[in-house]
């Protein structure tokens, strides 16, 4: 069995290798370690191996790890669905949130972000492949939502996040990620100052980097298969 440190090293190498053919600087792609369903000890091991940014899907689970790991320099990212009654916990405890897909959620986060903390860093989740039951703003509504969110105090709109359906092959994965990149370019061309494309996971990070991802969210390739919950 490989250790978390070894897995991190091989994920970093994968990112590096994906940047070369794409003509991109490896430093242009951040690695977010997705630690849902992992115990605090696993996160501590990853921190020991140089990882600082962690993504969590479930707010309560994240809060208990934050309490256990408060002595470590961790940047916490919320990447899961946000119910209205959880916005305050997100606003008070996370540095980033990737899963904003409604103005109402953004307004609550803006109102509830404590003034003594830096702005909450926000990505809008886009439903890029159109599953009707899926979270995410529809691509055609993303520009309007982005303009509204960008105007809110105490939030810093950074970019877009997607969770596409698993692709059949590299080309198909690239095609979906490129649709997100094109949308990102449209938003930038409209005058929004965005720098983050949060896309790519354990299976498809190469395709995501090829298509312009600036932040890959990697769970199982670092921590191994998740016990229990699959999402």
Question: Rule CB under 6 A: which residues touch ligand PLP?
Answer: 34, 36, 57, 79, 163, 201-203, 217-221, 231
Rg (CA), the chain: 17
Q: Under DSSP, is residue 52 helix (H, G, I), strand (E, B) or coil?
A: coil
> Which DSSP symbol is given to 3?
-
Closest alpha carbon to 215 in 193, 201, 199: 199
Q: Under DSSP, is residue 34 helix (H, G, I), strand (E, B) or coil?
A: strand
CB of 225 to ligand PLP, least distance (A): 8
CB of 205 to ligand PLP, least distance (A): 8
Cβ distance to ligand PLP smaller for residue 70 or 133 = 133
Closest alpha carbon to 209 in 177, 176, 163: 177
Cβ distance to ligand PLP smaller for residue 1 or 189 = 1
CB of 151 to ligand PLP, least distance (A): 26
> Which DSSP symbol is given to 71?
T
Question: CA separation (Å) from 7 to 51, 202, 215?
Answer: 11, 11, 18
Question: What does the alpha-carbon distance between residue 16 and residue 54 come to, in Å, rounded to a whole number?
Answer: 19
For ligand PLP, the nearest residue by Cβ is: 219
CB of 188 to ligand PLP, least distance (A): 23
Which residue is associated with the tokens 């494309």? 197
CB of 217 to ligand PLP, least distance (A): 4
Cβ distance to ligand PLP smaller for residue 29 or 34 = 34
Q: Under DSSP, is residue 226 helix (H, G, I), strand (E, B) or coil?
A: coil
Cβ distance to ligand PLP smaller for residue 166 or 191 = 166
Cβ distance to ligand PLP smaller for residue 52 or 220 = 220
């Amino acid at each position: 069995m490989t250790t978390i440190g070894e897995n991190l090293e091989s994920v970093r190498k994968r990112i590096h290798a994906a940047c070369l053919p794409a003509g991109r600087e490896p430093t242009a792609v951040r690695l977010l370690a997705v630690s849902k369903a992992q115990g605090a000890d696993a996160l501590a091991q990853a921190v020991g191996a140089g990882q600082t940014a962690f993504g969590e899907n479930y707010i309560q689970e994240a809060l208990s790890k934050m309490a256990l790991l408060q002595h470590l320099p961790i940047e916490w990212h919320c990447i899961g669905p946000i119910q209205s009654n959880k916005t305050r916990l997100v606003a008070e405890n996370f540095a980033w949130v990737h899963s904003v897909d409604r103005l109402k959620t953004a307004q609550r986060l803006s109102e509830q972000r404590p003034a003594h903390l830096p702005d909450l860093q926000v990505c809008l989740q886009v439903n890029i492949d159109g599953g009707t039951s899926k979270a995410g703003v529809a691509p055609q509504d993303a520009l309007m939502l982005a303009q509204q969110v960008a105007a809110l105090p105490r939030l810093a709109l950074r970019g877009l996040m997607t969770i596409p359906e698993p692709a059949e092959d590299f080309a198909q994965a690239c095609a979906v990620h490129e649709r997100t990149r094109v949308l990102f370019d449209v938003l930038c061309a409209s005058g929004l100052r965005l720098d983050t494309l949060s896309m790519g996971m354990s299976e498809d990070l190469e395709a995501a980097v090829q298509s312009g991802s600036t932040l890959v969210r990697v769970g199982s390739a670092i921590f191994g298969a998740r016990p229990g919950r699959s999402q």
